[in-house]
Amino acid sequence: MDFVTPGIGLIFWMCLVFSLLIVLLKKFAWKPILTALNERENSITEALKSAEHAREQMAKLNSDNEAMHKQAREERDQILKEAKEMKDNIISEAKKAAEDEGKRIILRATEEINKQKANAISELKGQVASLSVSIAEKLINNQLSNNTEQQSIIASQVNNLNSNQQAIA
């Protein structure tokens, strides 16, 4: 069982070699390697994080945009609605005003007409009176000259009067 008894020489050399190996590797290999790996790991994590952040920002911007769009649309709708209301109001007001104006014009026209009519009637009355007077004059004149002629003149004058009256009415 020779090979299960550790030899002092190998123990010595193993201690020496292994401690040298640990010291050298720790200083010149593990330190730079682990640092580099850590740095890479950190930079990757960092990059992922910033990508995630950027994505979040994007999403936020998008949702902001969306909200703004929505708001703008609402505002637009609101404005359109108001404009429409205003238009309707204006139209209806204008209509009402026009109607009123029309009514007033008609009223005034009617009044004017009535006035004119009254004037005309009174004038006619005056004319009829004067005509009657002139007819009567002529009748009297004709009667004075010719009976028959007097008669025809009166008839024609009366006819005239009738047609005149009709025209006025």
Partner 1 sequence: MRIKRVNKGLSIFGKLKILALIISFALFLPISSFANEPEVAKNHELQIEGATASNSHANAHEEKLVKFNPGKMILEHVKDAHDWHILDYHGHSVSIPLPVILYDNGLHMFMSSKFEHGHATVESKGNYYKLHEGHIFKTDAAGTIEVGEKNAVTNPKPLDFSITKNVAAMFVGAIIILLIFFSIAKSYKKKGNAAPKGLQSLIEPVILFIKDQVILPSIGKKHYARFVPLLLTIFFFIFINNLLGLIPIVPFGANVTGNIAVTLILALIVFFVVNLNGNKSYWKHIFMPDVPIALWVLLIPIELFGVILKPFVLMLRLFANITAGHIIILGFFSLIFIFGEKNVAAGYGTSVLSVAFTLFMSVLELLVAFLQAYVFTLLTSLYIGSALEEHHHAEEHH
> Using CB under 8 A as the criterion, which residues of the chain lie in contact with partner 1 when the complex forms?
2-15, 17-18, 20-22, 24-26, 28-37, 39-40, 43
Residue 5 Cβ vs partner 1, minimum distance, rounded to whole Å: 7
Of residues 18 and 99, the one with the C-beta less far from partner 1: 18
Closest contact distance (angstroms) between CB of 53 and partner 1 is: 20
| Between 7 and 126, CB nearer to partner 1 | 7
Give whichever of 34 and 107 is closer to partner 1, judged by the CB atom.
Answer: 34
Q: How far is the CB of 59 from partner 1 (least distance, A)?
A: 28
DSSP for 115-165, written as a single string: HHHHHHHHHHHHHHHHHHHHHHHHHHHHHHH-HHHHHHHHHHHHHHHHHHH
Contacts of 153 (CB under 8 A, 6+ apart): 135, 138, 139, 142
Sign of torsion over alpha carbons 100, 105, 108, 109: negative
| Residues 150, 142 contacting (CB under 8 angstroms) | yes
Residue 37 beta carbon to partner 1: minimum distance, rounded to whole angstroms: 7
